[in-house]
Amino acid sequence: MNKTAVKLADGRELIYFDPEDAPPRTGARDLRPLEAGASRSEIRRDPVTGDWVTIAGHRQSRTYHPPADECPLCPSGEGRLSEIPDPDYHVAVFENRFPSLASDAAVHGSGLAHPVAKAAAGTGRCEVVCFTAEHATSFADLSASRARLVLDAWTDRTAELSALPDVQQVYIFENRGAEIGVTLAHPHGQIYAFPFIPPRTARVVEQAGRYRSATGRNLFEDLLAAERADGVRVVLAGEHWTAFVPFAARWPHEVHLYPNRRVPDLTALTETERAEFPLLYLELLKRFDRLFTEGDRPGEAQPTPYIAAWHQAPAGHGQEMALRLELFTIRRTAGKLKYLAGVESGMDAFVNDVVPEEAAQRLREVAS
């Protein structure tokens, strides 16, 4: 893999990731008249739950559903300048122009003059990962070699961002589909380097600790062994990875992809594990797109909106936590979405309309 770092007009970093046999980058300059931005991000602790909430008012002005010929993630071309100065690229990663977290963040709120309230600068880093220069495509359309290049880019960013001062967890994810809330149609994902351990991760850390205290064993190792032994929820299994619908799935169609050898994060994967990942993951994404062929468009597969999220061990918890990718969709049938109703949004108590074992069977039926 070749890695080339450049600076955008406003000082943000852009990194190109290219195959080893690709020609050297020519170093196209960002010609846009951009001024350096200032982040207004801060984090505030909820006095009732103890959760950190990020306040980022400057994001109200971020780019929202631009037409295809004004996409900021496409390569720059004649008469149109984008976030990518070069006329083509393989994989590109750059600092978000409208970040929720940034290294230069400072506390801007008026604060609450009481000990129950606590605020801090929203330090950290937010990056955008562009999987391909092709606008009208998706991750599932990538070749195995391109998907591997994305994996290598994710790994590189995990290593670098984890080393930043105060970063507690590196979270990599892709949102796909307008129904999910995507505002830029170009195939891309994001990376958040959090200055705190996010609420869900904190609950998982606590649960893993309880399990260790009760059994003397690792929660994730036992969970994967149990799913592989039972097999009814296993969707896809390789030599180094296993994909299964979780026993207590929260979403209508939800799949977790684990390496068979527990590791804390992407940096700990071996070459053989990295080589197999694209084959299984691309197949999973293709199956998601074949899930819904009834209803409004009989016989025609519908692009499925999804969230794909890498969960990696936060700082100081590598011995207990496990790397895993969680993939889920909010679509429950061809013409119906699962909305988070009052019991879920208000109480975080999920109700799933699809039986996990039936979801696993359906995902096996739509195999390539």
Residue of 58, 114, 186, 188 with catalytic role: 188
Amino acid residing at 69: D
Q: Contact, 11 vs 94, CB < 8 A? A: no
Burial of 69 (0-12, 13-18, 19+ CB in 10 A): exposed
- Residue 311 bears catalytic tag: no
Q: What is the spatial distance between Cα 366 and Cα 113, in angstroms, rounded to a whole number?
A: 57
Q: What is the spatial distance between Cα 188 and Cα 138, in angstroms, rounded to a whole number?
A: 8
Q: Contact, 250 vs 104, CB < 8 A? A: no
Burial of 296 (0-12, 13-18, 19+ CB in 10 A): exposed
The two three-digit tokens of residue 321, written as one number: 């936590």
The two three-digit tokens of residue 364, written as one number: 């096996």
Q: What is the spatial distance between Cα 121 and Cα 55, in angstroms, rounded to a whole number?
A: 10
Active site residues: 188
